[in-house]
Amino acid sequence: MNPFTYERAADPQTALELGARSGAKYLGGGTNLVDLMRETIEHPTALIDVTSLSCEIEETGDGCLRIGAGVRNTAVAADRRVRERYPMLSEAILAGASAQIRNMATVGGNLLQRTRCGYFYDDAAHCNKREPGTGCDAVDGFNRMHAIFGASAACVATHPSDMAVALAALDARVTVDGRNGSRDIPLVDFHVLPGETPHIETMLEAGELITAVTLPAGIAGRSCYRKVRDRASYAFALLSVAAVLEVRDGLVDDVRIALGGVAHKPWRANAAEAALKGGPATEAAFHAAAQAEFASARSLRDNAFKIELGRRVITDTLVKLTALQEIR
Ligand SMILES: Cc1cc2nc3c(=O)[nH]c(=O)nc-3n(C[C@H](O)[C@H](O)[C@H](O)COP(=O)(O)OP(=O)(O)OC[C@H]3O[C@@H](n4cnc5c(N)ncnc54)[C@H](O)[C@@H]3O)c2cc1C
């Protein structure tokens, strides 16, 4: 590990001043960043601890729920308002990592955790994300876990967060503070596709600090988070589905679907949603919508199974959510 300094920011303004220095990085729970520093994949010269900032979950006047970036993952999953109004978010968080890691991990850090692509972690391998311009060994390598949507010749890595997939389906907004003030970014736009610059993973500009994630008011329907993985716990998603479905008189009134484990970012299933809205809430329609979504998928040597898996998990999830509405 390279030498670095450590400072705890007492307030957001101080954090921004310290975070603007060259080589500085914000520190959340450290469950990803410190691992990457040990592996010498990340080498900040200064860590700015932001875990004592933005630690509240608050109602906003307009019925939204604002979750501070410093709130621990365990606290979000356990919050009564989250469990009652956004149960899918609790499910997604609880499907990730372990209880000990969730106790440490923060909302801001979870969004910015880095890919689990094995070639990114292996400094003997070529990786454009770790070292821009060196190539991507995953493209022709062992790529069972890798992307089927939105990948490029430069990078086929996936985003590993479960929480972010639920937030994408919920149309959450990310609030960030920078030297030019505060701005809100829709979660679906926050992470970016790799293109030629896979080392750029989000819309964040240098020194910007995530301060909160806001969940919108009035999301109708039943929801759930389904995660398919190699082990029943403590494993990243091969593929996951976050879905909210509202059925009225047998027709799909509202539907939101996001996928995890398939792209460089949480993948909003826009094609499936468009195919479903206003149509019949039947298994055949769900299957056709899933087909429409995966029509644009492109598999690699080892991950074609994700296409059929994804179609089936979307269909099955929507069938289950419909049945839950019928017994409401
Ligand atoms: C063994 C293991 C298994 C795991 N399994 C899963 C899993 O199944 N699903 C899953 O989703 N995750 C999983 N994780 C990942 C875990 O969820 C992340 O490590 C965690 O969420 C990161 O949060 P953190 O607060 O510790 O971030 P840190 O490690 O502190 O930081 C991560 C990044 O975020 C930046 N950062 C932190 N806070 C801010 C802020 N407020 N503003 C701007 N930048 C900030 C840091 O500079 C750093 O770049 C696993 C981790 C481990 C170690």
88 falls within a domain: no
pLDDT, tens only, 121-136: 999 999 999 999 999 9
Q: d(Cα 276, Cα 121) in Å, to the nearest integer?
A: 40
Q: Into how many domains does the chain fold? A: 2
Which domain covers residue 306, as residue numbers? 222-326
Report residues whose beta carbon is within 6 angstroms of any ligand 1 atom: 25-33, 50, 69, 96-97, 101, 104-106, 108-110, 112-113, 160-163, 209-210, 236
11 falls within a domain: yes
- Residue of 6, 26, 41 best suited for mutating to test ligand 1, as the one with most atoms within 8 Å of CB: 26
Token digits for 227?
């995660």
303 falls within a domain: yes
pLDDT band at 321 (very low <50, low <70, confident <90, very high): very high
- Residues 111-126: what's their mean pLDDT? 97
- Residue of 6, 18, 25, 27 best suited for mutating to test ligand 1, as the one with most atoms within 8 Å of CB: 27
In ligand 1, the atom with minimum distance to the C-alpha of 208 is 43
pLDDT at 327: 65
pLDDT band at 234 (very low <50, low <70, confident <90, very high): confident
pLDDT, tens only, 297-308: 999 999 999 999
What mean pLDDT is reported for the chain? 97
Q: How far is the CA of 159 from the centre of ligand 1 (A)?
A: 12
pLDDT at 161: 98
- Residues 17-21: what's their mean pLDDT? 97
- Residue of 4, 27, 32, 234 best suited for mutating to test ligand 1, as the one with most atoms within 8 Å of CB: 32
pLDDT at 300: 98
9 falls within a domain: yes
12 falls within a domain: yes
Write the CATH number for 28.
3.30.43.10
Long-range contacts of 186-192 (CB under 8 A, 24+ apart): 187/213, 187/266, 188/258, 188/266, 188/268, 190/111, 190/265, 191/111, 191/159, 191/164, 191/264, 191/265, 191/266, 192/264, 192/265
pTM to 2 decimal places: 0.98
Write the CATH number for 320.
3.30.390.50
Res 326 pLDDT > 80:
no
- Residues 249-277: what's their mean pLDDT? 98
- Residues 223-241: what's their mean pLDDT? 95
Asked whether 322 and 255 are in contact (CB, 8 A), the reply is no
Res 1 pLDDT > 80:
no
pLDDT band at 328 (very low <50, low <70, confident <90, very high): low
